[in-house]
Structure 1
Amino acid sequence: MTEETLKGKNTQGVLHINEGTLHRVRTIQQNATTGWHGTTILSVRKDGHVVIAGDGQVSLGQMVVKANARKVRRLGDGGIITGFAGSTADAFTLFERLESKLEKHTGQLARACVELAKDWRTDRYLRRLEAMMVVADPRVSLLLTGSGDVLEPDDGLVGIGSGGNYALAAARALMTVEGLDAETIVRRSMAIAAGICIYTNDNVVLERL
C-alpha cells in the first residue's frame, strides 16, 4: 500500500484520513504479527491541546511480562510527543531516525515524518521494523506506518495497537460531550479500552502539549 493508492486529501506528502484510509490502517493492524499485541495508543486533539497516551502492558503470547512499560515519550526539545505500537527496539530505532530528520528539517514535523516514511519503506534494514507511530506537535497529529504512509486524521483522533479501535471509538463519542478536555477524553477512552482488550491495562502514561 502506497500513498498513491489511498483516497484522501494529500498536502505536502501528508494524507488526511477519511473512512477509506482508516479501513486500510485497520487491515494493517489486523494482519500484523503477535508483536503488535500488548498496547493501546490514543491521541486526542481538542481546543488547542493535544494528548497522547499509552497503556503499560507488554505481553508475550498469553503471558503479561511487564505492566508499566512507557510507550509515550517527548522528542527534541520537548515540543513533539509520540507513542508507538509494536517492537520496543524497532520503535526506538525509529525515534532516533525521526529526531535526526527533525534536526535536518528544523522542527518541520510533517516534512520530517514524510522523509522518515520514505526511508522506512525503501531502506533494506528499516523496512523490516515492526511498529506504528503516532506523532504530534502543537499544529498537527500524524500516523506513520511501515508501508510508507503518513496520515493526518480529519477529526484530530488517532488510535493504534491492539486496543486502538476501542479507544478511538470511545474518544469519538466523548468528543461530543460538552465540558470534556482532551486529557479527560483520553483517560476515559483508555479506561474503556483496558476493560475490553486483554492486551491493554490501566497503567496509563500520557504526554500533553
Structure 2
Amino acid sequence: MSEQPKGWRGTTILSVRKGDKVVIVGDGQVSLGNTVIKANARKVRKIGDGNVIAGFAGSTADAFALFERLEEKLERYNGQLTRACVEMAKDWRTDRYLRKLEAMMAVVDKDVSLILTGNGDVLEPADGIIAIGSGGNFALAAAKALMDQDLDAEEIGRRSLGIAADICVYTNDNLTVETLDTK
C-alpha cells in the first residue's frame, strides 16, 4: 500500500548577515507527500523597491498573499521594515483570513533580519542567522559552523543550503540567492 500525501512540504530558507552583506538563500523544491511536484520554485525575492529581501516556507499560495501584504505595509510605513513587520504580524494574528495561512517568512533589509510567524511573532535572531522550513535546522547548524571561516555571507548561505539538501529530503540544491549591501 502506498503512502498517501499528507500535504505540501518542502523549503529551506536561510539568511546570513556577515561583513557588509546580508543574503537570503532558498531551495527550489516543493513536495506533496513523498513526491517532488516542482524543483525550481522561487521562494526568495526582493520587495519594497528592492530594499528588502523576503523568503517563505509553507504554502505557496499563502506566501504570495503574505508577500503582497508585506509590500503594502512597507509602502504604508515608508520602507521601515521592523514597523511594517510588527503591523503585519498584528494583522496576521487577528485577521480571520490571514490566521488560516500556513507559512513563515524570513525578511531582511540592510539593518535588520526578522522572522515572521502566523502566531503574530516578529523575532530578531541575536547572531544574524535565520533558518526556516523543513531543512532549516540543518542549514542553521551548517551556517553557524561556517561563520568563523573566511567566507562571505553568500558563500556561507550556498554551502549551508548544500549541506541541508544533502540531509533533508524536502530540500534540493536548486538555489535562489538574493543579496543586499549593509553599508
What TM-score does the superposition give when structure 2 sets the normalisation length?
0.94
Secondary structure in structure 2 of the residue aligned to 1:187 = helix
Q: Does 1:204 align with 2:175?
A: yes
Q: Does 1:44 align with 2:16?
A: yes
Q: Structure 2 CA distance, aligned partners of 1:81 and 1:116? A: 16
Distance apart, 1:34 and its partner CA: 3.9
Q: Does 1:137 align with 2:117?
A: no
Within a 5 Å distance, the mapping from 1:171-186 to structure 2 comes to 171-177=143-149, 179-186=150-157
Q: Structure 2 CA distance, aligned partners of 1:99 and 1:55? A: 22
> Over residues 101-122 of structure 1, what are the superposed CA-to-partner deviations in whole Å (9 max), with x where a residue is unaligned?
1111001000000000000000
Correspondence for 2:90 among 118, 122, 125: 118
Secondary structure in structure 1 of the residue aligned to 2:106 = strand
After TM superposition, which residue ranges in structure 1, 4 or more long, deviate above 3 angstroms?
none
Distance apart, 1:76 and its partner CA: 1.7
Amino acid at match of 1:64: V
What TM-score does the superposition give when structure 1 sets the normalisation length?
0.82
Correspondence for 1:188 among 159, 163, 168: 159
Secondary structure in structure 1 of the residue aligned to 2:74 = helix
Query: Which 5+ residue runs of structure 1 have no aligned equivalent?
Result: 1-32
Amino acid at match of 1:46: K
Aligned residues: 175
Aligned to 1:74: 46
Q: Structure 1 CA distance, aligned partners of 2:128 and 2:57? A: 19
Q: Structure 1 CA distance, aligned partners of 2:114 and 2:94? A: 20
Identical residues among aligned pairs (%): 72
Aligned to 1:87: 59
Correspondence for 2:31 among 43, 59, 62: 59
Query: Which 5+ residue runs of structure 2 have no aligned equivalent?
Result: 1-5
